[in-house]
Amino acid sequence: MGLTKQYHRYNAAGVFSLIASGKCNVVWLNYEGRKDKYCAVGACEDVLIWDVKTGQQVGRLPGDEHEVVRLAASPNGSHIAVGYHNGTVKMFDIKSGEELVTFSGHKTAISTLASKDTFVKFWDLDTQHCFRTLLTHKTEVYGIQLDHDESRMYTGSADNEIRVYNLAPVTEELQEKLKEAKEIAASNSKKQKVKDETMDEGSDSEGDADQEEEQLVEERLLSCQYAGSLLRTGKGRTVNLYIDSSGRSLTCHGLDKSIEMFLIRTPEEKKQLRKKAASKLRKRLRNDGEDDQGVKEATYQLTVEEQHSRHVPVRLPAKASSVATICSPAGSCQFVALLSNNGLYFGQVDLTEQKSLISKASHLSTPGHKSDVRALCFSNDDSAIASASGDQLKVWNRDSLKCIRTMPCGYALCCAFLPGDRYIVVGTKAGILQIFDIASSCLVEEVEAHKEAIWSLCVLPDKRGIVTGSADQKVKFWQFELVEEDEAEEDENSMDTSESAQIPTKNRRLTLVPTRVLKMSDAVLCVKVCANNKLLAVSLNDYTIKVFYVDTLKFFLSLYGHSLPASVIDISTDSTLLVSGSADKNIKIWGLDFGDCHKSIFAHDDDIMGVCFLPKTHLFFSCARDGSIKQWDADKFTHVTTLRPAHHAEVWSIVSSSSGMSLVSSSHDRSIRVWEKSAEVLVLEEEMEQQREKEADMELEKEENPVVPGETSEEIGFASKKTVESVKSTERIMEAIDLWRTEKDKIVKSDEDLHPLLRAFKCKSPVDYVLEVLKKVKPSELEESLLVMPFHFATDLLQLLDVLLKQQRNVELVTKCLLFLMR
């Protein structure tokens, strides 16, 4: 029997170039005894903690493979709740970084409590039903905030208004009136319910508020009165509303580059304002000859705008995705804004002054790119990684993943380290080749290489030049040359500052000299040269791949078969195979001897953006817009594995190191990931089995929610959801009940007569074993586990719970199970 071909697994080795994900919010942390120094942001599946004073990352809370979309810090600063894209919520201890508990109830991403149906609903957590609906909004509601004492509610919608509502619990007098009303309306409850639910949608906000006050709501638990509106000056809808923990400031922002702040006046400030307004009113009445005796401070009602002091909008370097503030009683407000271009902006403003002056401002943007990284490359010795985006070229240390060089560049589409690793060449969208000196971090030369975008460039195997392909339908060959340029520098040994003290020196720098041009019939998308320097492969926009001889540039092969242009190609080290990836979602494997297509594979669910062979093998990786990176065997035409955790958006590029021990990929989620080859052996059969199990788990989560006992409303459901763990917990409970059935009547004379499971769990009786199994079930999965249990098992479990309750053992857990089963 032959040995099964084995592969080595590539594991995630780090994520860099990502400061903060724009899909998540930013929160202040009470970390190491400081409330105004540290903030937490989501970064793909992790949570990063940044020091706003030094701009350094001081902590990381690792996740699994789902993207972080929401954060909430506890008031005491010891815990942080993290909401993920798959609907789970995890609680972490901030100091130790330990995961404390996981809540699995939602089926989709965690978001803020708001809705696009223009309604604001109030829910009773005891009866689990909606007891009040506000219809005062004419557009979608995007944000809801309560002040620190929960007496006022602010809502932001798609218009330029922030609506303010006064909240108050129902008093005893109102409860008496409601009780009398229930008795009177008992015979006509249906009509009363219709009256409760119907509201006049066509009236304005103030009219709706008055009408709501006149309504007699049967099950209303609080009073909600419309108080007024605050007008925003920003453009677009309200993206975020934030009230700091002290309740001193209200911050909001829209779709522009500014944030608006309102200082919420204290009761003392409101009293002074009423006093001043009443004094002005008395003075006006005296001047008009009218009686001013009835004017009192307590009777004067302040408007919503008078209760809030508007500050001049604060201008940011880019659009904000989220804002968090800390405000002092004196009105000094420190804010942190999460920018949409992968950055954090910190500052401090005085809300008592009508100035847009920001003090202690700092912009954290160096550790990451401001736009998507379109090009990646390894240095020749694999010690550095270069990444190029729409405006920056960065060089990273491979081991520490720290940025060591940042250089401004044009809109980069491709890049490569030149021999010697001293220079980097970048091909831009404008058709210019830019050469950067890494040591001096400067641009040494710009070459107008093409008239249109340079989509691809490749260093020749003989290390003497490069080849470029452009949308101007030309493939050009370039040769490296060192040129001398005179530069005057001061003689360090001379103190004379005259011209004679400046000694001319000759510096040598690299340049590119064109040697040959190959004209094509259509736009060039990608170029590759074989490792033996004999063949040149050119992918064209006419869906074909042309192969030429490098020395004579004579036509050799035409590879056709893609239904859309092949945007990426790569050639194996032995120069026998060519792999191409196209927007038609297919990967084709070609032989370079006769130009035949060995295999066509439907590889991804979206456009394929990159392919790369591992050196000295026929294994290759592919990446696509679907966010996945897959490994393939070009000899057996099989899918080996999919790298996890995956990117959370489109993957633009993937490259391999010269040793094949590392991979690096870039994505639209602004992250760059490094993958390392491990010693772990990967077997195809096991990978296929794991994939089937994962698909089964996903199907399980998509199943409809079980019926809640005693409930008929479709809006009511369990807090938990069916997962693989809850099903396994049910199976363990059923196994424990089966063991109890078989062992309950046995007479045990010694420990040796006990069942092996009882001895393993150190239980003296089957009842003890059932209790131990129940204790090991996660509280968030307990109800779901009991619900899917067959009826005859549930009846036996009731008997066991009765025994445990009489023995007063773990009363809280036993009572919880008993009450749920009795429902």
Instruction: Give the model confidence (pLDDT) of 90-139 as tens digits.
Output: 889 888 888 888 776 556 665 665 555 677 777 665 655 666 777 777 78
Model pLDDT, residue 1: 36
The 3-state DSSP composition of the chain as helix, strand, coil percent (nearest 5) reads 20, 40, 40
Q: For 10-24, 470-484, 765-779, which range has the lowest pLDDT when averaged over its residues?
A: 765-779
- Whether the upstream peptide bond of residue 645 has omega within 30° of 0, thus cis, is yes
Model pLDDT, residue 495: 43
Query: Does residue 216 have a pLDDT over 50?
Result: no
Strand-pair category, 672-682 with 320-327: unpaired
Query: Does residue 263 have a pLDDT over 80?
Result: yes
Answer for the pair 620, 632: CB distance below 8 angstroms, yes or no.
Answer: yes
Q: For 69-83, 125-139, 507-521, 715-729, which range has the lowest pLDDT when averaged over its residues?
A: 715-729
Query: Does residue 289 have a pLDDT over 60?
Result: yes
**Local structure of residue 188 (DSSP, 8 states):** G
Q: What is the average pLDDT across 323-327? A: 91
Q: Which fold has domain 369-483+508-519?
A: Methylamine Dehydrogenase; Chain H (2.130.10)
Helix axes 791-806, 724-743, angle to 10 degrees: 70
Model pLDDT, residue 424: 97
CB neighbours of residue 488 within 10 Å: 10
Euclidean distance between CA atoms 698 and 691, whole angstroms: 11
Euclidean distance between CA atoms 39 and 339, whole angstroms: 14
Residue 561's pLDDT band, with cuts at 50, 70 and 90, is: very high
Alpha-carbon distances of 492 from 500, 501, 508, rounded to whole Å: 13, 9, 21
Q: Would you say how long the chain is, in residues?
A: 823
Model pLDDT, residue 217: 44
Residue 276's pLDDT band, with cuts at 50, 70 and 90, is: confident
Euclidean distance between CA atoms 735 and 782, whole angstroms: 16
Euclidean distance between CA atoms 142 and 158, whole angstroms: 7
State the greatest distance between any 2 C-alpha atoms of the chain, in Å, as a whole number.
113
Chain centre to alpha carbon of residue 322: 13
Model pLDDT, residue 522: 95
Query: Does residue 655 have a pLDDT over 80?
Result: yes
Q: What is the average pLDDT across 544-571? A: 95
Chain centre to alpha carbon of residue 482: 46
Residue 88's pLDDT band, with cuts at 50, 70 and 90, is: confident
Q: What is the sign, positive or negative, of the torsion defined by CA atoms of 113, 117, 120, 121?
A: negative
Q: What is the average pLDDT across 570-578? A: 96
For residues 261 and 127, the model is more confident at 261
Query: Does residue 185 have a pLDDT over 80?
Result: no
For residues 715 and 397, the model is more confident at 397
Q: What is the average pLDDT across 21-27? A: 91
Q: Where are the domains of the chain?
A: 19-110, 124-289+297-306, 369-483+508-519, 724-822
Q: What is the average pLDDT across 745-758? A: 70
The structure tokens 């949409």 sit at: 340
Helix axes 791-806, 766-776, angle to 10 degrees: 100
Query: Does residue 711 have a pLDDT over 50?
Result: no
Amino acid letter, 510:
L
Q: What is the average pLDDT across 497-519? A: 73
Euclidean distance between CA atoms 570 and 557, whole angstroms: 16
Query: Does residue 23 have a pLDDT over 50?
Result: yes
Q: What is the average pLDDT across 560-576? A: 95
Angle at 170 between CA 166 and CA 175, to 5 degrees: 150
Model pLDDT, residue 401: 93
Percent of the chain with pLDDT strictly greater than 70: 82
For residues 119 and 666, the model is more confident at 666
Sequence-distant (6+) residues with CB within 8 A of 683 are 4, 6, 7
Q: What is the average pLDDT across 249-261? A: 90
Query: Does residue 597 have a pLDDT over 90?
Result: yes
Mean pLDDT score across all residues of the chain: 83
Sequence-distant (6+) residues with CB within 8 A of 486 are 504, 505, 506
Euclidean distance between CA atoms 625 and 620, whole angstroms: 17
The structure tokens 């030049």 sit at: 465
Query: Does residue 560 have a pLDDT over 60?
Result: yes
Helix axes 724-743, 766-776, angle to 10 degrees: 170
Model pLDDT, residue 222: 75
Q: For 282-286, 706-710, 732-736, which range has the lowest pLDDT when averaged over its residues?
A: 706-710
Model pLDDT, residue 302: 83
Instruction: Give the model confidence (pLDDT) of 803-823 as tens digits.
Output: 888 888 888 888 888 888 887
Name the β-bridge partners of 323.
337
Instruction: Give the model confidence (pLDDT) of 787-803 as tens digits.
Output: 888 888 888 888 888 88
For residues 298 and 743, the model is more confident at 743
Model pLDDT, residue 491: 42
For residues 794 and 650, the model is more confident at 650
Query: Does residue 191 have a pLDDT over 60?
Result: no
Sequence-distant (6+) residues with CB within 8 A of 256 are 234, 235, 236, 319
CB neighbours of residue 86 within 10 Å: 18
DSSP 688-745: HHHHHHHHHHHHHHHSPPPPPTT---TT---SS---HHHHHHHHHHHHHHHHHHHHTT
**Local structure of residue 751 (DSSP, 8 states):** G
Answer for the pair 522, 475: CB distance below 8 angstroms, yes or no.
Answer: no
Amino acid letter, 365:
S
Query: Does residue 243 have a pLDDT over 80?
Result: yes
Euclidean distance between CA atoms 821 and 816, whole angstroms: 9
3-state secondary structure of 163: strand
Instruction: Give the model confidence (pLDDT) of 452-507 as tens digits.
Output: 999 999 999 999 999 999 999 999 999 999 888 755 444 444 444 444 444 555 67
Name the β-bridge partners of 65.
none
DSSP 658-681: TTSSEEEEEETTS-EEEEEEEEEE
CB neighbours of residue 82 within 10 Å: 25
Joined tokens for residue 261 = 């702040």
Helix axes 779-787, 811-822, angle to 10 degrees: 40
Q: What is the average pLDDT across 536-555? A: 96
Q: What is the average pLDDT across 532-554? A: 95
Q: What is the average pLDDT across 618-623? A: 96
Sheet holding 651-656, edge to edge: 7-16, 672-682, 662-667, 651-656
Chain centre to alpha carbon of residue 604: 22
Residue 332's pLDDT band, with cuts at 50, 70 and 90, is: confident
Model pLDDT, residue 593: 93
Model pLDDT, residue 272: 86
Query: Does residue 270 have a pLDDT over 80?
Result: yes
Q: Which fold has domain 19-110?
A: Thrombin, subunit H (2.40.10)
Name the β-bridge partners of 641.
631
Q: Which residue, 449, 406, 407, is CA-closest to 431? A: 449
Euclidean distance between CA atoms 624 and 585, whole angstroms: 8
Answer for the pair 384, 395: CB distance below 8 angstroms, yes or no.
Answer: yes
Query: How many alpha carbons lie under 13 Å from residue 460 in its C-beta half-sphere?
Result: 18
Model pLDDT, residue 219: 43
